[in-house]
Amino acid sequence: LIERGQLVAKSASYKVLPVTLAQIYLLHFNLRFPTIKSFEKVSSILSICLAALYPLTLLEVYYSVNALCTSEFLTWEEFLQRFKLLSGLLVKRLDNTYMFFHPSFREWLIRRDDGESNKFICDLRSGHAGIALRLSRLQVPLDAERTLELGHHILKAHLYKNMTLHKNSSRDLQAHWIASVSADVSEA
């Protein structure tokens, strides 16, 4: 931040320099996303990447983000614009998948210590939901490995939590979902 000129260190301001990683990440995000609306544009991308069991390709992230959309889907161009806002935070690996630049940053997006700002915390449940919906819509029938992955994301997303209007239990609904998209549930 200092090298880029985003943070100017003057003798009078030494007392307000960030001293922890959490403070550095918060300052960086405040500069990169000055409004809540600007952060909301990328929060679903971050949530998907946080919930993933392994680094995802750009297309997997795109389809997972769009799986969360209920009325208006993101175009590829709009998605790429939003993804570019995260440059330096999500880094491309040699196998064309993306991962967070550091585990401490990943952890900062998920949880904070007591007394720290909760600004910019990501919703893991929506990330799990996006991946579960992508798997069940675009990759069916699922093999044994993908069936287990889907089960993980369905459980973590809690999509059927607090459903009172349905006569079946959430466990039954989850089992039906998995059975309906798996090639052979017994193999998983």
- Domain edges within the chain: 1-123, 139-188
**pLDDT at position 159, please?**
86
Tens of pLDDT along 95-113? 999 999 999 999 999 999 8
Q: How many CB atoms lie within 10 A of CB 92?
A: 13
**pLDDT at position 78, please?**
98
* Tokens (6 digits) for 58: 């750009």
Tens of pLDDT along 15-32? 567 788 998 999 899 999
> Domain 1-123: which topology?
Arc Repressor Mutant, subunit A (1.10.10)
CA atoms of 136 and 181, how far apart (whole Å): 6
**pLDDT at position 11, please?**
44
Q: How far is CA 36 from the centre of its chain?
A: 17
Given the DSSP bridges, would you call strands 97-100 and 90-92 parallel, antiparallel or unpaired? antiparallel
The predicted model scores a pTM of 0.88
H or E stretch at 130: helix 124-138
CA distances from 47 to 28, 65, 144, 175 (A): 18, 9, 25, 24
Tell me the pLDDT band of 49, cut-offs 50, 70 and 90.
very high
**pLDDT for 48 beyond 50:** yes
Q: 92: which strand partners? A: 98
**pLDDT at position 160, please?**
82
